[in-house]
A and B are shown apart, each in its own frame.
Chain A
Amino acid sequence: MRRIAALAVLLPTLGCQAQHEPASSDPTSAIAESLSLPPSRVWTILDDLVLAPFWVGNSDHGTLFGPLWRSALPGIEDFVYAPPDGDCRALKGTIRVDWDKASNTVHFLSKWRGLPLRPSVHRTSGVDFFPNAFHGAPKDFDDGSYRLWVVLSSPTNKANFWYDARTLQLQGSDFNFPSGPPAGTFPVPLPIFAITGSQAFKPQQDGSAVHEWTITYDHLQAEGGFFSFAYTSYTPQDLCESRAAQPSTGQLRPYVTSWFPPGQGPSWDTVLRSGLAFDLNAEETNAFPQTGGNLPYVFSGVAFIGNLMATQGGIPRGSKISIPSSIQNVVPAFFPVPGGVDLGCHTFVNDPHVTAPRFCEGAH
């Protein structure tokens, strides 16, 4: 209540700081008007108070400002990280994106509080880590860092995934077989999602961090421009464990392509129409010079702090979007974060669908 009171009292005041527009008398207009100011690297009261995405401008020129919460947007089978002391109360991030088609720029400014300094992840195979031929992320790492992933959550893009006609095992997707699929395979079209991200960064001693970067408007790319994006999906690896009519009851495992070269990403207005989302992952810190600092396996699958801007209100603190709900086309798609977001928070594996009944053998 105190926080909301502060919000209501303060936002009109902040509106008076806007340089180019008259002060607004209502809170939402006031915060929107404050976005006419240049982005600030300092953690401000707005970063404390922002509870939902704010959009101003249009597809050519505009700004998004929104909150990022623990485990608001974990992927299927993601390992959701928690601070070693089990205290998630201070965790928060904010993202401000300013885009301008005329200057061909999209600028990201992310600010963070409460980040553990050197995240370490140690998992147990078969318990909270599941080896995956189509996503070769490491099981363990120490002295890690963070990357912010930019996710196009659109489920309307599809690719063919090729399965061995005899074993029903996944062989790869169109992207694995640029010269055509292997003999004896058949295709299953499945949704794919584009992701790109920042370079690795580490927080200050107090757990705060600021990371900003700029990309081109006309082609989405990873920070630094070494790559554009990668496609990811959640697919059955054994088609026998999949149920086409009800995929949420079947096997669904992470799949990711290799990075695509620069210049192949969609333009920012397409990104905006594709369902924009963000997810901070804990990642290993290696330099990866061969991939320009980008992870060769694209992402670690160690989710931490994020949000889905492409839903009204975003995801509130303490809730997570359920990707199986989206796949199954059912609502409400929000569930409480299993590991919590306050004192006593803990790690968990999100919505694992590693194995399923062998539907093809009649085991319903």
Chain B
Amino acid sequence: MRKLFSYSVAALAVSTAAVAVRADTPIADFILRQVYNASVRYSTTVEFPQRIGARGDVARGRRVFGFNDAETAIDNSGGLFEGQSQVGGTITSNGKVCATCHRSEAFQYGMPPLPLSATIPLNDPVFNTAPEDGADPNAFFNADTLGLFAYRPNRFNPLRPADDPFRQVFFWRKTQRLLNVVFTFGLLNDGRFREMVEQARGAVFTHTQNGDDRFDDLVAVQRLLDIGAFQESHIDPPELSALLDPADPNYATLVNDPFHTVNLTTNQQRLGETVFAYNCMSCHNMPNVFSNVDHWNGPPLNFPPLYGHTFDIGISQRNRFNLDVRKFDTATGTRVPIVLPLVTQDGRTVQYTVADDVGAAGSTGRFEDLHKFKVPQLRRVSQMAPYFHDGSATTLEEAVDYFNTAWYNDSAEGQLHPIHLSQPERNAVLAFLRAL
């Protein structure tokens, strides 16, 4: 037994060949990530303890969200959080409401096609991204051309000093579409929010005011619950609602037949279903929704983030649009690298210079969470372009083709679940996805 301790790292690489350690992957980090990934007591039961449900009012939520009652126009008269806060002082709005970025149902409550300025006037609040973008000179281009907005996930953390790198770190992300969000464990692209109240509160703080001080006293929990109920109400196809209630007569059918609500009419689509089940459902495993079913076994707030299951599929590292995530110093006009102290599973602190979207690690502070993102749902996916958190696949074909690349297959998840689709398989998966 003692002799085992004298094994060299080279011997380690040989002995762990069965776990597919790659030559270009730091062995220790790979193993630590495995240990970290295995340390969760996930439940795969189709249940939704995070659901707002009847605690919120959909109609009120629609108005707070920023729509008129008919949902035909943006109405920010009742949706802004501004005023005199006992905590944050005078809070002013930059005119944004939720509906500023989560446009109508026609866009699945996301943004319209790019460039945004083709359909949205330049004086629309969506282009008024200060102060969350830190006056970054790329902000307008990224928003208009790429549909990407700057987010500082920990901007309002009062327990860390203003210059703490976790308060400074930011990333460029697309607007999440809200279709079937009720079936999601972990909200936003990186899953950092555990339930809708957290998500709505975070969005309010991020977008609608003038400074970095919190103003919780202006944000009544009931209004957040109402926003959550409105967001949860977008279910398509409608029969998916049965998944929310184990007493529903169709619940067991939808749970046990993951494709029950998918209407396939061609042999190619049916082949695509088989290819999808074999290659894609290690992550897209929520029956009939095709998000990810894994979640901590209990109510979401009982567990520190993350609540759901996130994955690194290499999108961040590819950084197709060369998104710059260095802080822009307005005083000098230069960019300053952000260095995050990320804790590893064995207790080390890695001073990580941010060069791409750090994913969930920006919120958890864990090195093993670098570049991890949640799994999106796939219903009506053909209408959801662009794809991935950075919008880096502009078409469904590009999104599927990504999984055939080395970027995916060399990623942490790709090493565990490699995908190599033949051209017929690729075409079949596309046909299947278009049927969703």
Contact = CB atoms under 8 A, between A and B. Distances in A.
Answer yes or no: do A and B interact: yes
Contact of B32 (A51, A154, A364): A51
Contacts of B16: 8-9, 12, 27
A113 to B, nearest CB: 16
A316 B304 contact: no
A66 to B, nearest CB: 8
Contact of A8 (B27, B36, B302): B27
Contacts of B198: 329
Given A10-B1, A310-B303, A333-B365, 5 more contacts: A27-B31, A51-B32, A154-B301, A156-B299, A314-B39
23 contacts: A4-B32, A4-B346, A7-B35, A12-B16, A12-B18, A26-B18, A26-B19, A28-B37, A32-B38, A55-B39, A66-B39, A154-B302, A155-B301, A245-B217, A273-B297, A273-B298, A310-B304, A312-B40, A316-B346, A319-B343, A331-B192, A333-B304, A334-B366
B348 to A, nearest CB: 8
Nearest to A243: B87
* A interface, size bucket: 35 or more
B28 to A, nearest CB: 4
B38 A28 contact: yes
A153 interface: yes
Interface string B16-34: 1011000000011001101
B324 interface: no
Interface of B: 1, 4-5, 7-9, 11-12, 15-16, 18-19, 27-28, 31-32, 34-41, 85-87, 153-154, 156-159, 166, 192, 198, 201, 214-217, 296-299, 301-306, 343-347, 349, 363-366, 368
B343 A12 contact: no
Interface string A300-329: 000000001011111011110110111011
B214 A334 contact: no
A312 B297 CA distance: 12
A12 B154 CA distance: 40
Contact of B38 (A9, A45, A52): A52
B345 A316 contact: yes
A54 B38 CA distance: 7
B153 to A, nearest CB: 8
Given A153-B302, A155-B302, A325 B343 contact: no
A332 B166 contact: yes
Given A45-B1, A246-B214, A310 B302 contact: yes
Contacts of A25: 18-19
A244 B218 CA distance: 12
A10 B4 contact: yes
A321 B298 contact: no
A316 B344 contact: yes
B346 A51 contact: yes
Nearest to A334: B365
Interface in A234-277: 243-246, 248-249, 272-275
B57 to A, nearest CB: 22
Contacts of A69: 347
B159 to A, nearest CB: 6
A328 B157 CA distance: 8
Contacts of A6: 4-5, 7
A26 B158 contact: no
A347 interface: no
B145 to A, nearest CB: 31
B302 A316 contact: no
A239 B146 CA distance: 49
A12 B366 CA distance: 26
Contacts of A328: 157-159
A29 to B, nearest CB: 8
Interface in A327-358: 328-334, 336, 341
B302 A248 contact: no
Contacts of A64: 41
Given A27-B34, A331-B365, A334-B343, A5 B159 contact: no
A324 B159 contact: yes
Given A3-B346, A55-B40, A330 B154 contact: yes
Given A54-B38, A55-B41, A7 B154 contact: no
Contacts of A321: 304
Given A8-B27, A28-B34, A273-B302, A325 B159 contact: yes
Interface in A12-57: 12-13, 25-28, 32, 45, 51-55
B39 A52 contact: yes
A4 B28 contact: yes
A274 B301 CA distance: 9
A183 interface: no
